[in-house]
Structure 1
Amino acid sequence: MNHAVSLLFVVLAVGFGIYRRIRRTVGFQKLEPRRFIFRCVLFAAVGLLVLAMAVARPVLLAGDAVGIICGLTLAYYGIRHLKFEKREQGWYYRTHGIVEAIVLVLFIGRIAYRLIEMALLNPGVPNSAAAGGAGANPYGDLSRDPITSAVLFVIVSYYLTFFTYLLAKGKTLEAAGS
C-alpha cells in the first residue's frame, strides 16, 4: 500500500507540473527576468552534468548533438513567432503554441516510454534493484541511452536559447518603451 501511495504522489506531482506547463503555453505571460535567469542556470547545470557523463561514450555525444541541433531549430522557430504586448503591469509575451507542444510531447512521451519499458522489462522489481542494486547510479539511463539524452538536450537547448532571448528582448523593450 505504501508503494501505491508514493506512486500516486509522483503521478499527481508530474501531472500538476504538466498542467502548469500547458497553462503557461496558452496566452500571454509576464516577462520576469529573475525567473529566466534561474531557469537558464538550472538548464545549463543539468546540460553540463549530462554532457560530462556522456564524454566517454561517442554514441551519447552524437545523440546529444542531434538533440542540441533540434532544440536550437525549435527555439529559432519559436522566437520568430513570439508576440509581445505592453500592459499596465509590464511587458508580456506569447509563445508559439505548436513549438511548446512539440517540446512538451517529447518530454512526456519519453518519460512515458521509459516508465512502460521499465514496467515491461522488470515487472515487480523495485527501480534500485533493476538498475543494479542499492549503490546503482540513479541517472544511469541518461548515461546509457542516447535517445533519452537527445530528448533532454532538445529541451535544454530549446529553453536555454529561448530564455536567453527573452532576457535580452526584455531589456530592449524596457529601455525602448518604459
Structure 2
Amino acid sequence: MPDIYTVLLPVLIIGFILYRRISRSIGFQPYKKRRLIFRMCLFGLIGVMVLLASLAHPFSLLLDAAGVIAGLVLAKLAIDHTKFEERTGGLFFRTHIWIESIVLFLFLSRIVTRLVMIYTIEKSSQSPEQLQSQFSSPLTAGVFFLLVTFYLIYYGNVLRKGTRMRQKAA
C-alpha cells in the first residue's frame, strides 16, 4: 500500500503544475509587474543554487551551458511572438503557445523520466553511492537551466515592454 503513495503524490504535484502552466499559457494573461519580478527573483535564486551545486561536476557545467543557450534561443523566439493588448481590465500579454508547449514538454518529460528512474531504483537494492550517482543527472540540470534562462529572459522582456506600454498610455 505505501508504494501507491510514492507514485501518487508526485503525479498529483505534476498534475497541479501542469494545470497551472497550461492555464497561464493559453490566452491573454494580465500584466502584473510584482508577479513577474517575484518569478524572476525566484528563478534566479534557484538557478544560482543549482549552478553552485554543479560546480563540482565539469560535465554538468557543459550541459548547463547547453541549457542556457537553448533557453536563450527559445526566449528570443517567444519574445518575437509575444502579443500585448490594452483592455478595460488593464494590460494583457499572450505567449506563443507552441514555444510555451515545447518548454513545458521538456520540463515534464524530464520530470517523468526522473520519477520513473527513482521508482525503479527504489525497487532495486543498490548501495547509497550508486543511488547518489543516479540522482545527480547533468541532463536534468541542463533542462533546468533551459527553463531558468527561458523564463528569466522572457519575463524580463515582458516586464520591460509592459512598463514601456504603461508609460506611453499615461
Q: TM-score, normalised by structure 2?
A: 0.90
1:92 is paired with a residue whose SS is strand
Over aligned residues, Cα RMSD in angstroms? 2.1
User: What amino acid is aligned across from residue 142 of structure 2 in structure 1?
Assistant: A
Residues 67-112 of structure 1: per-residue CA shift (max 9 Å, x gap): 0000010000000000110001111011001110010000000011
Partner of residue 169, structure 2: 177
For residue 91 of structure 1, what is the aligned residue in structure 2? 91
- Provide the rounded CA distance (Å) in 2 between the counterparts of 1:168 and 1:131: 50
**1:64 match:** 64
Structure 1 residue ranges (4+ consecutive) displaced by more than 6 angstroms after TM superposition:
none
Report what 1:79 is aligned to.
Answer: 79
Q: Distance in 2 between matches of 1:39 and 1:81?
A: 21
Letter in 2 for 1:172: R
Distance in 2 between residues matched to 1:131 and 1:31, nearest whole Å: 50
Aligned length: 168
SS in 1 for 2:123: coil
Letter in 2 for 1:90: G
- Whole-Å separation in 1 of the counterparts to 2:30 and 2:152: 18
TM-score after normalising by structure 1: 0.86
Larger helix proportion of the pair: 2
When residues 118 and 7 of structure 1 are mapped into structure 2, their CA distance, relative to the original with a 3 A threshold, is closer
Change (3 A) 1:131 1:118: farther
Residues 131-174 of structure 1, C-alpha deviations (whole Å, 9 max, x = no match): 839xx98xx83xx3211010000000000001111111111010
| Structure 2, unaligned runs of 5 or more | none
- Tell me if 1:165 matches 2:157: yes
2:113 counterpart residue number: 113
Could you tell me which residue of structure 2 aligns to residue 55 of structure 1? Answer: 55
Equivalence for 1:132: 128
Counterpart position of 2:16: 16
